[in-house]
Every structure is written in structure tokens, then in C-alpha cells.
Amino acid sequence: MKRSIIVVLLCVILGTFATAQSSRTVGVILLSDVATYGDAAYLLLAARGLIDDEVGLAGAAGLLEFNGYGTPGRLWLDPITLGEYAVLLRRVLGLPGGFMSALTEAPRYAVRDLRHYRIIQGRAYPNMTISGERMVRILGRALAWQDGTL
């Protein structure tokens, strides 16, 4: 039931992008206990409408780097930490940051900034791994924050 609600939420996030192929990919992401760099790349690019239906998780990671948002050296199957995800989220959605984020892109400052805006909720350590479900929830709140509805 909980997962169904999140799938609906994700479809709303992705809008018309949610086709059969993308729904399958999203299902895979939601089921992952430890989300990967490719999962994050796919979700973020989809939220911005920068990804085609045929592109998979590996392609999304490459596309993220091609668009200038990626983290060099990271492979699509690498587990992603909350801090890395926060950095990518700020880059892709253009979220504002604090004084320290202007000086450095360290993951800990990205996490703190997003906690301040209530985009990241609950236990938040920059080096902890995150589940696909949590990644989707954070993305949902980031989009809601941009709309002024959070």
C-alpha cells in the first residue's frame, strides 16, 4: 500500500514522462534498500524532463555527467550516500544553499541546507546510504518546496 502511494506520487512528479518503461525502472528504484548513483541520476533527470524513455540507469548516470551535473568517477552501480544525493539534488534543481555551500560543495553542507528547508527529514548523516523510497520522498519534497507548497 505504502509503495503504491509512492508510485502514484512519483508519477505525479514525473508527469507525462511516466510510461510503461519508466514505471518499471521506478519500481526497481523503489524496491532498492540501498540506492545507487544510477538510481539518483535517473530520478533527477526525469524530474527535470531531461531523459528519454529508453535510457536505463546506466545511461542516466552518463547523461547526468554529460549535462554537467555528475560527480566524476562515480559508476552507476555505486551506492549513493545521502550527502552525494543532496549535492546532486541541489545541482540539478538549482536549490539555494548557505554560506558554506557557496565556498565548498561538501556533502555535509548540502545535507544541512536541505534539512533547513525541510526537504530532508528524519535522521540525516551525509555518509549514510539511503533507500530508493527515501530518495523519492526527498525529491517529492524538493519539488514541493520549489512550488512553495512544502
Interface with other proteins (CB under 8 A): 96-101, 108-109, 111-113, 115-117, 123, 125-129
Of 3 and 24, CB closest to other proteins: 3
Report yes or no: 38 and 76 within 8 Å, Cβ to Cβ: yes
Of 68 and 94, CB closest to other proteins: 94
The CA distances from residue 75 to 6, 41, 82, in Å, are 26, 11, 16
Of 2 and 68, CB closest to other proteins: 2
Report yes or no: 142 and 89 within 8 Å, Cβ to Cβ: yes
Of 10 and 87, CB closest to other proteins: 87
- Determine phi and psi for 63, rounding to 5 degrees: -65, -35
The CB-of-104 to other proteins minimum distance in angstroms stands at 11
The CB-of-59 to other proteins minimum distance in angstroms stands at 31
Of 22 and 81, CB closest to other proteins: 81
DSSP letter for each residue of 10-79:
HHHHHGGG--HHHHHHHHHHHH-SS-BHHHHHHHHHHHTT---TT--HHHHHHHHHHTT-S-TT--TTSB
The CB-of-7 to other proteins minimum distance in angstroms stands at 23
The CB-of-126 to other proteins minimum distance in angstroms stands at 6
Report yes or no: 119 and 145 within 8 Å, Cβ to Cβ: yes
The CB-of-114 to other proteins minimum distance in angstroms stands at 9
Say how many Å lie between the first and final Cα of the chain, rounded. Answer: 23
